[in-house]
Amino acid sequence: MIGNVSDAYNDYKIYPYALGNDRAEKDSAVSSSEECQTCKNRKYQDGSDEMVSFKSAAHISPQAAAGRVRAHEGEHVSNAYDKAAQKNGTVVYASVSIHTSVCPECGKTYVSGGTTNTAIRYPNEDNPYQKNRKAADATILPGANFDVAV
Protein backbone atom coordinates (compact mmCIF):
# COMPACT_ATOMS: atom_id res chain seq x y z
CA MET A 1 0.00 0.00 0.00
CA ILE A 2 1.30 3.48 -0.75
CA GLY A 3 0.29 5.97 1.90
CA ASN A 4 0.31 9.72 1.53
CA VAL A 5 0.61 9.35 -2.21
CA SER A 6 -0.77 11.62 -4.80
CA ASP A 7 0.05 13.31 -8.01
CA ALA A 8 -2.24 12.50 -10.92
CA TYR A 9 -4.88 15.11 -11.54
CA ASN A 10 -7.62 16.06 -13.93
CA ASP A 11 -7.73 19.41 -15.67
CA TYR A 12 -11.04 20.23 -14.01
CA LYS A 13 -11.20 23.35 -11.89
CA ILE A 14 -13.51 24.11 -9.03
CA TYR A 15 -14.93 27.58 -9.51
CA PRO A 16 -16.48 29.65 -6.75
CA TYR A 17 -19.14 30.80 -9.25
CA ALA A 18 -20.93 29.28 -12.23
CA LEU A 19 -18.86 28.24 -15.24
CA GLY A 20 -18.43 30.94 -17.83
CA ASN A 21 -18.22 33.67 -15.20
CA ASP A 22 -15.08 35.73 -15.99
CA ARG A 23 -14.69 36.71 -12.35
CA ALA A 24 -14.52 33.04 -11.30
CA GLU A 25 -11.49 32.46 -13.50
CA LYS A 26 -9.74 35.55 -12.12
CA ASP A 27 -10.49 34.52 -8.53
CA SER A 28 -9.00 31.03 -8.83
CA ALA A 29 -5.79 30.80 -6.79
CA VAL A 30 -3.73 28.81 -9.29
CA SER A 31 -4.10 28.77 -13.06
CA SER A 32 -4.41 25.38 -14.77
CA SER A 33 -0.93 25.64 -16.33
CA GLU A 34 1.04 26.03 -13.09
CA GLU A 35 1.37 23.63 -10.18
CA CYS A 36 0.56 24.75 -6.62
CA GLN A 37 3.06 24.29 -3.77
CA THR A 38 1.06 21.45 -2.22
CA CYS A 39 1.13 19.49 -5.49
CA LYS A 40 4.82 20.30 -6.04
CA ASN A 41 5.77 19.01 -2.59
CA ARG A 42 3.56 15.90 -2.60
CA LYS A 43 5.53 12.71 -1.99
CA TYR A 44 4.65 9.03 -2.15
CA GLN A 45 5.86 6.37 0.28
CA ASP A 46 5.02 2.69 0.76
CA GLY A 47 3.85 1.73 4.25
CA SER A 48 4.08 -2.06 3.92
CA ASP A 49 6.76 -4.45 5.14
CA GLU A 50 7.41 -5.83 1.62
CA MET A 51 10.41 -5.02 -0.52
CA VAL A 52 8.81 -2.88 -3.22
CA SER A 53 9.31 0.55 -4.75
CA PHE A 54 8.68 3.77 -2.80
CA LYS A 55 10.19 2.56 0.48
CA SER A 56 11.58 6.08 0.86
CA ALA A 57 9.42 9.09 0.04
CA ALA A 58 9.65 10.30 -3.55
CA HIS A 59 7.90 12.90 -5.69
CA ILE A 60 6.03 11.77 -8.83
CA SER A 61 4.78 14.16 -11.47
CA PRO A 62 0.99 14.56 -11.53
CA GLN A 63 0.81 13.16 -15.05
CA ALA A 64 2.68 9.95 -14.11
CA ALA A 65 1.21 9.26 -10.66
CA ALA A 66 -1.72 7.07 -11.69
CA GLY A 67 0.46 4.73 -13.73
CA ARG A 68 3.24 4.60 -11.16
CA VAL A 69 0.84 3.86 -8.29
CA ARG A 70 -0.87 1.13 -10.35
CA ALA A 71 2.52 -0.40 -11.17
CA HIS A 72 3.55 -0.25 -7.52
CA GLU A 73 0.39 -2.01 -6.37
CA GLY A 74 1.04 -4.59 -9.10
CA GLU A 75 4.35 -5.34 -7.36
CA HIS A 76 2.39 -6.33 -4.25
CA VAL A 77 0.19 -8.66 -6.32
CA SER A 78 3.27 -10.20 -7.96
CA ASN A 79 4.87 -10.69 -4.53
CA ALA A 80 1.74 -12.51 -3.33
CA TYR A 81 1.95 -14.98 -6.24
CA ASP A 82 5.68 -15.49 -5.60
CA LYS A 83 5.08 -16.04 -1.88
CA ALA A 84 2.30 -18.54 -2.60
CA ALA A 85 4.46 -20.45 -5.08
CA GLN A 86 7.34 -20.74 -2.59
CA LYS A 87 5.17 -22.44 0.05
CA ASN A 88 2.85 -24.46 -2.19
CA GLY A 89 -0.02 -22.03 -1.62
CA THR A 90 -2.76 -20.68 -3.84
CA VAL A 91 -3.71 -17.02 -4.29
CA VAL A 92 -7.44 -16.98 -3.59
CA TYR A 93 -7.90 -13.35 -4.60
CA ALA A 94 -5.94 -10.19 -5.24
CA SER A 95 -7.56 -6.78 -5.58
CA VAL A 96 -6.09 -3.34 -6.15
CA SER A 97 -7.80 -0.05 -5.30
CA ILE A 98 -6.51 3.32 -6.48
CA HIS A 99 -7.52 6.26 -4.27
CA THR A 100 -8.03 9.86 -5.32
CA SER A 101 -8.32 13.10 -3.36
CA VAL A 102 -8.77 16.80 -4.06
CA CYS A 103 -5.89 19.20 -3.41
CA PRO A 104 -6.99 21.73 -0.77
CA GLU A 105 -4.88 24.49 -2.35
CA CYS A 106 -5.65 24.28 -6.08
CA GLY A 107 -8.74 22.03 -6.13
CA LYS A 108 -7.31 19.52 -8.63
CA THR A 109 -8.07 15.83 -8.28
CA TYR A 110 -4.99 13.64 -7.80
CA VAL A 111 -4.11 10.02 -7.10
CA SER A 112 -3.64 9.90 -3.34
CA GLY A 113 -2.56 6.29 -2.99
CA GLY A 114 -3.40 2.68 -3.51
CA THR A 115 -4.27 -0.43 -1.54
CA THR A 116 -3.69 -4.06 -2.43
CA ASN A 117 -5.57 -6.86 -0.69
CA THR A 118 -4.51 -10.45 -1.22
CA ALA A 119 -5.49 -13.77 0.32
CA ILE A 120 -3.31 -16.86 0.05
CA ARG A 121 -4.48 -20.34 1.04
CA TYR A 122 -1.79 -22.73 2.25
CA PRO A 123 -2.31 -26.47 2.72
CA ASN A 124 -1.91 -27.48 6.36
CA GLU A 125 -1.22 -31.20 6.55
CA ASP A 126 -0.51 -31.06 10.31
CA ASN A 127 -3.94 -29.68 11.16
CA PRO A 128 -6.08 -32.48 12.71
CA TYR A 129 -9.23 -31.09 11.09
CA GLN A 130 -7.55 -31.26 7.68
CA LYS A 131 -6.54 -34.87 8.35
CA ASN A 132 -10.10 -35.79 9.37
CA ARG A 133 -11.52 -34.12 6.25
CA LYS A 134 -9.13 -36.08 4.03
CA ALA A 135 -10.06 -39.33 5.80
CA ALA A 136 -13.78 -38.58 5.37
CA ASP A 137 -13.26 -37.71 1.70
CA ALA A 138 -11.32 -40.95 1.22
CA THR A 139 -14.34 -42.98 2.29
CA ILE A 140 -16.81 -41.03 0.12
CA LEU A 141 -14.90 -40.46 -3.11
CA PRO A 142 -13.97 -44.00 -4.22
CA GLY A 143 -16.60 -45.16 -6.68
CA ALA A 144 -18.11 -41.70 -7.07
CA ASN A 145 -17.17 -41.69 -10.75
CA PHE A 146 -17.91 -45.25 -11.75
CA ASP A 147 -18.24 -45.94 -15.46
CA VAL A 148 -19.76 -49.19 -16.60
CA ALA A 149 -19.48 -50.38 -20.16
CA VAL A 150 -22.49 -52.30 -21.36
Kindly report, residue by residue over 91-116, the tens digit of the pLDDT.
Answer: 999 999 999 999 998 889 999 889 99
Assign 121 a pLDDT band (cuts: 50, 70, 90).
Answer: confident
* Stated pTM of the model: 0.62
Assign 56 a pLDDT band (cuts: 50, 70, 90).
Answer: confident
Can you name the residues that pair with 91 across neighbouring β-strands? 120
Query: Beta strands of the chain (E only): which ranges?
Result: 2-3, 45-46, 90-102, 109-121
pLDDT tops 50 at residue 12: no
Can you name the residues that pair with 73 across neighbouring β-strands? none
36 contacts 106 by C-beta, under 8 angstroms: yes
Q: Kindly report which listed range (9-18, 54-63, 140-149) carries the lowest average pLDDT score.
A: 9-18
pLDDT tops 70 at residue 40: yes
Please tell me the distance from the alpha carbon of residue 74 to that of residue 53, in angstroms, as a whole number: 11
Cβ neighbours of residue 142 under 8 Å, at least 6 residues apart?
none
Assign 45 a pLDDT band (cuts: 50, 70, 90).
Answer: confident
Can you name the residues that pair with 93 across neighbouring β-strands? 119
Burial class (CB in 10 A: 0-12, 13-18, 19+), 99: middle
Phi, psi of 9 (to 5 degrees): -145, 160
CA 121 to the chain's CA centroid: 20
